[in-house]
A and B are shown apart, each in its own frame.
Chain A
């Protein structure tokens, strides 16, 4: 089933590449069909997943390169299932909003599904070598998508993004090889490596951790390794921004969680530093977002700030913190996707990202204005949005560990509210009637409403998600309970 999940998008990409129809609409329908099929498959997965069962379920493994000890091993636990569902959901949203994509839809959809396949692979891989392969595989479609379909500075953004993440993953690869070498089993399977890694002395663990952390921190991104993000987000076309901020950033956090299972001693040793970096990211992202008048870069910087919450949760290494981190991954995925969706669509219509051009948007395009306001409030973590549950968990978890240092989280949220409310205020401001603006079409409204609905649903009734990730996060937290 997991294999099907991972490779069905590849099939979709191939089909889309050779599909005979010329019209973009037929291509779009086919793509929508595949996206829906993926979502259905993940729902089936969630159906057959038992949250209280064993740690890794639906495990399937096959020797890949037996001499090296690498396996083609797939499996899911609660965290990866949540991420897989998020991926499928956001892919569907991305396909929905790209109905009227200008330019070559064929290449775009094919790349989109290749990307989806790679993302599924990252979240389901149970073998570090496989994980790495999928990790790198996400880069290629993304590079081309930004490079071919982006804004004015797209070439520079794409190259920048590629070099940054490649640079990060080189460190990751070296660290993985070190781990492989140091662990007695000489196998890349995650479980074997985890056993080997835990037995290593602290110094060795720290060294390996440093490499892995650079790789993941670039992706997440954590200040000061975030240089690629503002540019890439600003230049990428809106559906790509959705996936980039919604899913790709979460890969870093997900990898960090997996690394926590493998190198617990290193995590305990650098816990304080991680928290410091997290708080730095939080404040840095929030302050820079506050300074932006360009809507898209504002959202991009706020992403950095919100991923700081995730890191803070992971760094607290207790049940509440880790659960909150996973929830925040989901919540930020949804909220950031909604914001990028709306802002991207606006940009496509007006070719402006400047807030000054959107004064009085409420009167001109009420649906746009509503969803921007909704997305901003959800990103702040207003109660009854998914972000609130997540931030509360992280807050409780981090408070247990560091006490009043979490005030920084509050300040960052306050700054977040400041820029969010500024935008909302401008949307409501009466403005001289200017160029007419087409409001969101029905398909686009559906996509945005799906996201908004998911945010509210998880905010009001988070129990299913908590149950889903609860036992997996408890397992991670149990590793650190003694320390």
Chain B
């Protein structure tokens, strides 16, 4: 038994692959129209649950194998793509950071899947929810277990898209889609940082693999730029300042999804990324100090806002942000082990709380505690807390407003000049009354029409086609001559002459 566990880590790729497979299967069933009704719901839930459970068991087995056989470390499963010396590998890094977090995540994932099966029973979008949830489970495991930045990025994006889709789960409501878009766009800023850093890693280090990346000896300036990109990604994902507002809007989705995304798992992905980069961070005390500062500010912000929240999910989310910012503080101070433990404990506790949120009213019959007296007395701070320090509005005025204005101008330019020059589909005029469907618009279209008209003339005139082409006329002329000649030759006198002429030539 113990011996057989030795190679179980080779199967780690199944952990992200199985939920993805479940998502694909469900998707295919929905497309083929085989997932309707209660029976379809049950099968979908079972499939996803099975995938989540298998992933969990596999991770537990790997954990057991660690006890007897030691840490597996970097596991390379295959090469995804390769160009010159750049290799996009599918590899997994199984160490003291990734395995505990991944196992806990798999456990939470499994429980949430079970919870959701009853929570969403007979709701519209049941299948959709499970497809996205399974995709998220695959994505987050790819983030946690990944042995290189590329796979992490893949999972990171899958989580982002899954989050977007679940916030907009009730897409009929404009608020939900608006919030989904807000969360998605904010997260893109973080993704930009991640992509930037990965590009730099490819350029400077020449590899995406964590061991190579973490052991890279770069000049401190370069290293700082590299880590800053990752840090931006982490801050955005973990909803730290200045990215915090998105997470309050992200609670629009179904409660179990809020639990796993913002309560427990995805919100910690940023912290996890920083923990993963721990060896690099320790070279850069200034970055650590920055993280400490941001963590502290976010903690104050979340604490203040949390005091005045009136609904349970918002209160919980500010508590979550507060705890996450404490993890950031711990990382800033260099206490990474503490941060890891904090992460695990907080994830477990918070997911339970979030799953409980819908039944909170029944559990506690009391009114929620009022804001503390000192806050009520200070009007300015109270308003600020209620308005969440105007971060939302600030973002709109500073970023969204100017962008909209520029977009409007560009659109005007496009409509009045560029569209007319290039031509628009559906607006073309037909080039020939005989061919009403052949239309052209814009400068290239007109050029094309003129050129093709010219060529068509050449084609008609020069070549052996109908409509009195010149070549055909010439051939017909020649044919008439030949016919006349033949008719003449058929008459005996000319035939004789021809024969005699031949004789003369031969002689």
Cβ-defined contact, B463 with A227, below 8 A: yes
Given contacts A287-B455, A288-B455, A355 and B431 within 8 Å (CB-CB): no
- Which of B425, B436, B459, B462 has the most A CB atoms < 10 Å from its CB? B459
Given contacts A284-B455, A291-B435, A227 and B464 within 8 Å (CB-CB): yes
Looking across the interface, which residue of chain B has its beta carbon closest to that of A229?
Answer: B463
Please give the distance in Å from A279's CB to the nearest CB on chain B.
Answer: 14
Q: Is the interface of A mostly helix, strand, loop or mixed?
A: helix
> How many chain-B residues does the 8 Å CB contact rule pick out?
22
Q: Which residue of A164, A228, A293, A425 contacts B438 across the interface (Cβ within 8 Å)? A: A293
Report how far A415 CA is from B438 CA in the complex, Å.
Answer: 13
Q: Mark B443-483, 1 if CB is under 8 A from A, else 0.
A: 00000100111011001001111100001000000000000
A130-149 contacts to B, CB under 8 A, are none
Q: Which residue of B436, B438, B464, B466 contacts A292 across the interface (Cβ within 8 Å)? A: B438
Please give the distance in Å from A341's CB to the nearest CB on chain B.
Answer: 22
Residue A356 at the B interface, CB < 8 A?
Answer: yes
Q: Mark A327-360, 1 if CB is under 8 A from B, else 0.
A: 0000000000000000000000000000110000
Residue A29 at the B interface, CB < 8 A?
Answer: no
Residue B225 at the A interface, CB < 8 A?
Answer: no
Cβ-defined contact, A231 with B465, below 8 A: yes
Residue B407 at the A interface, CB < 8 A?
Answer: no
Cβ-defined contact, A356 with B456, below 8 A: no
Cβ-defined contact, B435 with A293, below 8 A: yes
Residue A475 at the B interface, CB < 8 A?
Answer: no
Report how far A163 CA is from B453 CA in the complex, Å.
Answer: 27
Report how far A142 CA is from B38 CA in the complex, Å.
Answer: 62
Please give the distance in Å from B409's CB to the nearest CB on chain A.
Answer: 29
Cβ-defined contact, A422 with B435, below 8 A: no
Given contacts A291-B431, A356-B437, A230 and B452 within 8 Å (CB-CB): no
Residue A209 at the B interface, CB < 8 A?
Answer: no
Residues of A close to B439: CB separation below 8 A: 422
Q: Mark A267-291, 1 if CB is under 8 A from B, else 0.
A: 0000000000000000010011011
Residues of A close to B455: CB separation below 8 A: 284, 287-288, 291
Report how far A415 CA is from B452 CA in the complex, Å.
Answer: 11
Cβ-defined contact, A291 with B436, below 8 A: no
Q: Which residue of B431, B437, B453, B463 contacts A422 across the interface (Cβ within 8 Å)? A: B437
Residues of A close to B437: CB separation below 8 A: 293, 355-356, 422, 426
Q: Is the interface of B mostly helix, strand, loop or mixed?
A: loop
Residues of A close to B434: CB separation below 8 A: 293
> How many chain-A residues does the 8 Å CB contact rule pick out?
25
Cβ-defined contact, A356 with B436, below 8 A: yes
Report how far A291 CA is from B464 CA in the complex, Å.
Answer: 19
Report how far A160 CA is from B439 CA in the complex, Å.
Answer: 31
Report how far A422 CA is from B438 CA in the complex, Å.
Answer: 8
Report how far A372 CA is from B462 CA in the complex, Å.
Answer: 32
Cβ-defined contact, B452 with A288, below 8 A: yes
Cβ-defined contact, B451 with A287, below 8 A: yes
Residues of B close to A156: CB separation below 8 A: 466
Residues of B close to A284: CB separation below 8 A: 455
Report how far A276 CA is from B452 CA in the complex, Å.
Answer: 19
Cβ-defined contact, A160 with B464, below 8 A: yes
Please give the distance in Å from B373's CB to the nearest CB on chain A.
Answer: 67
Residues of A close to B431: CB separation below 8 A: 291
Residues of B close to A422: CB separation below 8 A: 437-439
Looking across the interface, which residue of chain B has its beta carbon closest to that of A226?
Answer: B463
- Which of B431, B456, B463 has the most A CB atoms < 10 Å from its CB? B463
Cβ-defined contact, A291 with B438, below 8 A: yes
A379-434 contacts to B, CB under 8 A, are 415, 418, 422, 425-426
A208-232 contacts to B, CB under 8 A, are 224, 226-228, 230-231
Given contacts A292-B438, A356-B437, A227 and B452 within 8 Å (CB-CB): no
A22-77 contacts to B, CB under 8 A, are none
Report how far A164 CA is from B448 CA in the complex, Å.
Answer: 29
Given contacts A287-B455, A290-B448, A224 and B462 within 8 Å (CB-CB): yes
Cβ-defined contact, A290 with B465, below 8 A: no
A residues bordering B, Cβ < 8 Å? 153, 156, 160, 163-164, 224, 226-228, 230-231, 284, 287-288, 290-293, 355-356, 415, 418, 422, 425-426
**Other than the known A287-B451, A291-B453, A293-B435, what 18 A-B pairs have Cβ atoms closer than 8 Å?**
A153-B466, A156-B466, A164-B464, A227-B462, A227-B465, A228-B464, A231-B464, A231-B465, A287-B448, A287-B452, A287-B455, A291-B438, A291-B452, A292-B438, A356-B437, A415-B448, A418-B448, A426-B437
Enumerate the 3 nearest inter-chain pairs by beta-carbon distance, A residue then B residue, closest first.
A227-B463, A293-B435, A287-B452
Sample of 22 A–B contacts (CB below 8 Å): A153-B466, A156-B466, A160-B464, A164-B464, A226-B463, A227-B463, A227-B471, A228-B464, A287-B448, A288-B452, A288-B455, A288-B456, A288-B459, A291-B431, A291-B432, A291-B456, A293-B436, A293-B438, A418-B448, A422-B438, A422-B439, A426-B437
